[in-house]
Amino acid sequence: MDFTEIYKQSGNLASFSPGAHFILNVVENTLIVRRTDTLQIARTWTVTAPSNTANILTNSKPTPSSLGVSSDGWISHAGWSCDSEYLLAGSAKNGIVEVFKLRDENWNARIEAGVEGLLKAEWAPDGRHVLCFSQWGLRVTIWSLVTGNATYIQFPIHPDRGYAFRSDSRYFVLAERHRSKDAIGVYDTTDSYKLVRHFPVPTSNLSSLALSPTGNHIAVWEGILEYKLHILSLAGDVQGTFSPKLNPGFGVRNAAWHPTGMFLAVAGWDDKIHILDGLTWSAAATLELSSKIPVGATLWREPSNWLETTQGRGFLSYERLQGPQTISLQRTDPTKPNPKSGAVQLEWNKTGTLLLVRFENCPTVVHLYDFPASSDPFVPRLRCVFQHSKPVMHAQWNPVRKGSLALCSGSGSIYIWSDEWIGENGVEEDMAECIGVPANTKFETRSIKWAPDGKGLVLLDKEVFCCAFEVEEDGTEG
């Protein structure tokens, strides 16, 4: 892989445009757009301080520190519209969202939240509406760039995980709380977010929701005190309810739909993953964390002290261990708050043939489970395990290629796994590599983001970032 120079950033806000031709990054209160091919700056914008009217409404007085570039005025949210035409930059502490146009540097739109405050701002899938979540769960406001009008929806439960758009972007599904009871609202995005369905849900304390890729079903689950998950239709009918036969003690921690919508992976705090089928909504298979790696699974182990040996430059293959192996698991005390257990990440690859799992009580390890094709018997199996010297901080599938995975662990490197490597006999085989980031200064990869075309990565440290691109070669990859 080829690496770029290191550039400043703040707030971990750096991402490729949907077409992968530009890269957005934020430095304090400035929004910067670079060309992907040269990394030269194409546009810059600055988010200004709130107006006097906004200061009066929020009872805040401008001070010398707030008039300057203090952390209160820094951009906290930024993103591209779906067609790369517009960019959004929001400052939650100042209650301001500004929208800029890539082709016209002088055009901009401005949203001031006022007394309700601003917790989060993001694009709707159509790229012409901006969602603004207010503080204290008061409401979500949808602003239209076309008409300039706003639509208000009251009492959203969770601004970070309590909503979803259907895959065709037609409907917006929002978890709400009215009169101390959980409910779900379904809104038509093509008709100014008009309410089309509103129904109660059978939860007493809704923790989160997940909308199936087909858009036909909604999974909702209780909070940490009760392991119960319900499947609802968009009309509000309960299709099924899942709860393990043996009470694990805590509730659902994560759930992830299979890309086809035929299965739902559900993980609690008990190191078990239940794979629910889409007909009976019962467990078709259960995957359980174990310290023993069975025969047939591969253990990929990071070589010890390889960064010091290579001086952080070049790449080195993982140690590949076959046969029965063991990994260490941290013991957890369920009587103490915030137990270090359960799956912190469940993520399917593009085709749904592989499931990535990260368990919190083995933070240095990543598991990959193999799922059979629809024509084969449904027997998921552990395919491989990646073991590292430091806890894994982020792992993400390639958005285009089904068998390409990137990981990072807060060190001066990234880790790549692929099942597309062409061996000497001309057959595809697995390959896992440790790749050092050739930086002149200390660089620790804490987060990664794939480019939409799957050919590049943004690598993020606390205050800096760089990019990595695959080397395109003529002939056979090897």
Span 421-468, pLDDT tens digits: 877 777 778 999 999 999 888 999 999 999 999 999 999 999 999 999
Q: Which residues contact 389 (CB under 8 A, 6 or more apart)?
A: 302, 304, 364, 409, 411
Q: Please tell me the distance from the alpha carbon of residue 244 to that of residue 276, in angstroms, as a whole number.
A: 11
Q: Note the pLDDT of residue 59.
A: 58
Instruction: Determine the 3-state secondary structure of 244 from DSSP.
Output: coil
Question: Is the pLDDT at 54 greater than 60, yes or no?
Answer: no
Flag whether the pTM goes above 0.85.
Answer: yes
CA nearest to 416, candidates 443, 399, 395: 395
What phi and psi, each to the nearest 5 degrees, are found at residue 191?
-125, 50
Written as six digits, the tokens of 89 are 């930059």
Give me the mean pLDDT over the 12-39 stretch: 96
Tokens 């261990």 belong to 321
- pLDDT bin (cut points 50, 70, 90) of residue 474 is low
Give me the mean pLDDT over the 25-41 stretch: 96
> Of all residues in the chain, what percent carry a pLDDT higher than 90?
80
Q: Please tell me the distance from the alpha carbon of residue 178 to that of residue 167, in angstroms, as a whole number.
A: 27
Written as six digits, the tokens of 384 are 């491989």
Q: Note the pLDDT of residue 167.
A: 95
Give me the mean pLDDT over the 194-204 stretch: 97
Give me the mean pLDDT over the 376-386 stretch: 91
